[in-house]
Structure 1
Amino acid sequence: MTSRSLKIALAVSVALNVFAATAVGAVWVARDKIEHRIAESHKSGRSEPVWDVIERMDPTVRDQVKAQLRAAAMQARPDFEEARAARREAIALTGAETFDPVAVAALLERSRASEARGRSRLEAGAVEVLSQLSPTDRKALAPILSRHKARRDARKPEKAAKPVAPAAPAPAAAPTRS
């Protein structure tokens, strides 16, 4: 073998090794994500959308339940809209030239309070609906009180788990000896 063919063989070998290492890494990461999604799906909470459960109910009860849940949602809607508006305003203030942490914190507090008020209205409406149902229907609809949304969490498992670390300060330059 000439030195040129050895160099080509070495380059091909390195390329294959890099490809193999990348493939193994990709399979490993994909496997971890799949295992995480499976674990998330086994957590307690809503296993299916509430509307699917409602659709399987007796038609007379189903229509009443739908109407009452929609009415509760419409009563809570202004609270959730106010929460989103306050959060958008806080984001806009954060991106402004001058940063006012007190104003941003107040807007975020207002957003949380509005969201809590809206959730309280939704839950009160759900309890009212549940109080009018038979024990079997109540048991079937009990998961509407759960705050866990399995589908959304399965799509974004890493976002909630990874806190953003602050940037580390640059190390001071060490004096050099001459």
Structure 2
Amino acid sequence: MRRIVLWAMSTLTVLVLLFSYNTSRSSTALVAAEGRQVTTTSKSSDSTGSTSGSSAASSTDSAGQDPSAASGSTSSAGSSGSSASSSAAKTYSGDAIMTRYGNVQVQITVKNGKITAADVLQVPMNDRHDEMINSMAVPVYNDEAVSAQSAQIDVVSGATYTWQGYTQSLQSAIDQAHL
């Protein structure tokens, strides 16, 4: 009888210690993740230059607020004349893709038939874990989209659901841009 009680108490102690152990959600990791969240919006403006980055970011924000108007105007401009659409930078918003943790929506900027910038309009940020993962993965996905010039980008470990939504929305924006 004493062995059974000793075994049960030992098992209970181990389970309590196991479930109270904090893994990747320590306070230092959260502080680093909160600091990197700011880089997701400024990453595309850094790649275009500091003087033109602020004007490019403001035009993206105005187009991002009304994605239906932006996609409607870009598709009509693309069909009316290809020479005018290839010289000016245009933004295209992809479809909002529902993932397990929330919607992911990508917006691309196209100039001279090439993707010059990619940015997310929506990404899951429900809790600190989402913030930590997406603040590190989204800038990588944005850089990969610009360098690959397609939706064939590598997945960041730990951000598979974001990657699935990102690539589907990116492909939708690429299709709207007729690339």
TM-score between both structures, scaled by the size of structure 2: 0.33
Decide which structure has the larger Cα Rg and report it.
1
TM-score between both structures, scaled by the size of structure 1: 0.33
